[in-house]
Chain A
């Protein structure tokens, strides 16, 4: 096609996308039904992963929970089973939906797996395929926070942060994507962090891992678009200061709290679920992150630093790092007790 004609066509398409995006602000798209669909959530044992599991359970999805910590993973499973019981058992069913409930019995499956280990991921994914079936949702939520400045952080911890927060996405995606490609159906969700978009001082490894995950997500989106696999959706979730346990002790400066109020888990998870179920490509919470993200690209570096310093964003994690140090010194943190898991390859 003539380049000029193609340029005109692309311009029209771009304007159209703006129109659609604008419409979404006013007319909320319908949320898709996930009842009976299989959803794999990594890092389901705590934090954002656990909350997402609860939300998917409320909507009747079958859950496959992955976490390195068997105990917390089972706790999440217990919560999910209770939700199934309350909402999806015959006595709790919504009038008029009895037929759906009797046909689809949502279930929860738990697997202990260290997502930083490639072979474990592949073996467990095979097990999931055999025991549960094809998956529709892959939610990469597992994350760790080393809590040390670069020069104080042991090298193994630096590497571990990268492997869990970023490299694990390679393995989980490679494990489940082939089937999604075959069926041209699926949804991959990357739970990154606003700290991938706005770095802060003193947490080089965490910021590196989160922007790496974002880079991976965007690259994969473009790859899927290039091969025209429109049935596979992708959503990037960038919450800010959500995981209270991971970032305990950190506070944004008081004067910025009207703009960046401390976020409730529920609010972030609700926003994320809405984005996932309406197939939105990206969601940042709070929404002011979008403006900040735009300002970051336009403003000169000095002005960005001024902005960061005003909001306390350049050092807000320092309080959390101090808390982490105390926790590590008191042997409170069991975060890096990596357990050896013996897996048997099950033949289907």
Chain B
């Protein structure tokens, strides 16, 4: 080992301790929050659920323009009107199916021309088929992959280059705790969210070289929206479903503090830690006890 490498090796433990202390300090002392004034935010799946609340929250926090993408015009229009009437932000909506690559690029061009450069991209659009593998329709399986995972590739490819040019931007992904801790009955969703998480992790690491462009990935527990309607947690008093408004607030906060990964609630992190060292059989017993094996039996989904 040469001198340079030896030096690195000796400094490494101190560097690690310094990073850990810095993070602990950040928990105690409120971090500096960046100003969102002047930001142009685009939210996929912005017409309803968490997306709708995200639009409102970004607008409340000073975003100049909020652009909503979705597939249902009625929802997009309603959300847009609500944001325009209750905040000072300008709100726009466009119909766009993120699973369709060409449509994403076409609409991205339209957004650039009509609204301006997007500085915060929120990949929120998602669907769930909600069946076991053998009961799942092949096309439905693929639709979930296209919207939840591949859609994020296309939107990121459409908007990231300009963010890199401006050295200013943020890519946000509304992921799920199911990406790290899967349950039966949602194999399409768990697979797609896992892919999306790794995509964001790789992107986050890659963007460390460009300080002006940040990434945030949000991993919420079961959120009380239409998407997972009917899903029943066994101990709702211990693990109540999250309020989508809270998820939106915490997401915007994470963007303002440049937090790369956030679990909602924080107890989900404990679950992930447990999973990393528990034997598989132990994990299965715990999941069965927690009702994870039956929670999707009553799943209805969006009407």
Q: Take A149-B206, A297-B272 as given contacts and tell me if A20 and B281 are in contact as well, using a CB distance cutoff of 8 Å.
A: yes
CB of A226 within 8 A of CB of B293, answer yes
Instruction: Please give me the residue from chain B that is nearest to A221 by CB atom.
Output: B280
Q: Take A170-B141, A199-B201, A200-B205 as given contacts and tell me if A225 and B193 are in contact as well, using a CB distance cutoff of 8 Å.
A: no
Decide yes or no whether B197 CB sits under 8 A from chain A.
Answer: yes
Chain A neighbourhood of B138, CB < 8 A? 118, 170-171, 174
CB of B179 within 8 A of CB of A215, answer yes
Decide yes or no whether B19 CB sits under 8 A from chain A.
Answer: yes
- Listed by A's residue number, 7 A-B pairs whose Cβ atoms lie within 8 Å are A170-B133, A201-B206, A213-B191, A215-B195, A216-B187, A255-B9, A308-B205
A219's partner among B157, B191, B276 (CB-CB below 8 A) is: B191
Chain B neighbourhood of A20, CB < 8 A? 279, 281
CB of A302 within 8 A of CB of B23, answer yes
| Chain A CB within 10 A, most for which of B22, B199, B260, B277 | B199
Stretch binding the partner chain, chosen from B28-36, B76-84, B147-155, B239-247: B147-155
Stretch binding the partner chain, chosen from B51-59, B90-98, B113-121, B282-290: B282-290
A201 to B215, CA, bound (A): 13
Chain A neighbourhood of B199, CB < 8 A? 204-205, 207-208
B194's partner among A118, A215, A308, A310 (CB-CB below 8 A) is: A215
Shortest CB-to-CB span from A9 to chain B, Å, is 9
Decide yes or no whether B124 CB sits under 8 A from chain A.
Answer: no
A254 to B1, CA, bound (A): 8
Q: Take A212-B192, A226-B184 as given contacts and tell me if A204 and B202 are in contact as well, using a CB distance cutoff of 8 Å.
A: yes
Chain A neighbourhood of B194, CB < 8 A? 211-212, 214-216
A220 to B187, CA, bound (A): 7
Chain B neighbourhood of A10, CB < 8 A? 285-286, 288-289
CB of A21 within 8 A of CB of B202, answer no
Shortest CB-to-CB span from A85 to chain B, Å, is 39
Decide yes or no whether A301 CB sits under 8 A from chain B.
Answer: yes
Shortest CB-to-CB span from B70 to chain A, Å, is 22
Pick the 6 closest A-B CB pairs, nearest first. A215-B194, A212-B195, A300-B23, A211-B198, A201-B206, A281-B280
Chain B neighbourhood of A281, CB < 8 A? 279-281
Decide yes or no whether A13 CB sits under 8 A from chain B.
Answer: yes
Q: Take A212-B194, A300-B23, A306-B16 as given contacts and tell me if A225 and B284 are in contact as well, using a CB distance cutoff of 8 Å.
A: yes
- How many residues of A are in contact with the other chain, CB < 8 A? 73
CB of A162 within 8 A of CB of B184, answer no
Q: Take A6-B289, A204-B203, A222-B293 as given contacts and tell me if A162 and B149 are in contact as well, using a CB distance cutoff of 8 Å.
A: yes
B198's partner among A18, A149, A159, A199 (CB-CB below 8 A) is: A199
Shortest CB-to-CB span from B100 to chain A, Å, is 12
CB of B198 within 8 A of CB of A151, answer no
Chain A neighbourhood of B195, CB < 8 A? 162, 166, 208-209, 211-212, 215
A7 to B184, CA, bound (A): 21
Chain B neighbourhood of A13, CB < 8 A? 281-282, 285
Shortest CB-to-CB span from B191 to chain A, Å, is 4
CB of A207 within 8 A of CB of B15, answer no
CB of A211 within 8 A of CB of B197, answer yes
A301 to B208, CA, bound (A): 12
CB of A301 within 8 A of CB of B260, answer yes
Scan A282-300; emit 1 where CB is below 8 A from any B CB, else 0: 1000000000011011111
CB of A305 within 8 A of CB of B157, answer no
Scan A1-22; emit 1 where CB is below 8 A from any B CB, else 0: 0000011001001100110110
B208's partner among A166, A214, A223, A305 (CB-CB below 8 A) is: A305
Chain A neighbourhood of B284, CB < 8 A? 221-222, 225
A178 to B133, CA, bound (A): 11
Chain B neighbourhood of A301, CB < 8 A? 23, 260-261
Instruction: Please give me the residue from chain A that is nearest to B186 by CB atom.
Output: A219
Q: Take A6-B289, A219-B182, A300-B23 as given contacts and tell me if A155 and B282 are in contact as well, using a CB distance cutoff of 8 Å.
A: no
CB of B133 within 8 A of CB of A177, answer yes
A291 to B272, CA, bound (A): 14
Decide yes or no whether A278 CB sits under 8 A from chain B.
Answer: no
Chain A neighbourhood of B133, CB < 8 A? 170, 173-174, 177, 219-220, 223
Scan B283-303; emit 1 where CB is below 8 A from any A CB, else 0: 011111100111000000000
CB of A202 within 8 A of CB of B145, answer no
CB of B198 within 8 A of CB of A208, answer yes
Shortest CB-to-CB span from B130 to chain A, Å, is 12
Q: Take A150-B156, A222-B182, A297-B273 as given contacts and tell me if A216 and B190 are in contact as well, using a CB distance cutoff of 8 Å.
A: yes
Decide yes or no whether A164 CB sits under 8 A from chain B.
Answer: no
A10 to B272, CA, bound (A): 19
Q: Take A7-B289, A150-B203 as given contacts and tell me if A177 and B134 are in contact as well, using a CB distance cutoff of 8 Å.
A: yes
Chain A neighbourhood of B288, CB < 8 A? 10, 225-226
Shortest CB-to-CB span from B252 to chain A, Å, is 19
CB of A300 within 8 A of CB of B276, answer no
Shortest CB-to-CB span from B298 to chain A, Å, is 14
Chain B neighbourhood of A305, CB < 8 A? 19, 205, 208
Shortest CB-to-CB span from A219 to chain B, Å, is 4
CB of A299 within 8 A of CB of B285, answer no
Shortest CB-to-CB span from A220 to chain B, Å, is 6
Decide yes or no whether A167 CB sits under 8 A from chain B.
Answer: yes
Q: Beyond the given A225-B288, A306-B15, could you list 11 further A-B residue pairs with CB under 8 A, ordered by the A residue number?
A: A17-B282, A150-B203, A151-B157, A221-B280, A281-B281, A293-B276, A298-B273, A303-B19, A305-B205, A306-B12, A306-B16
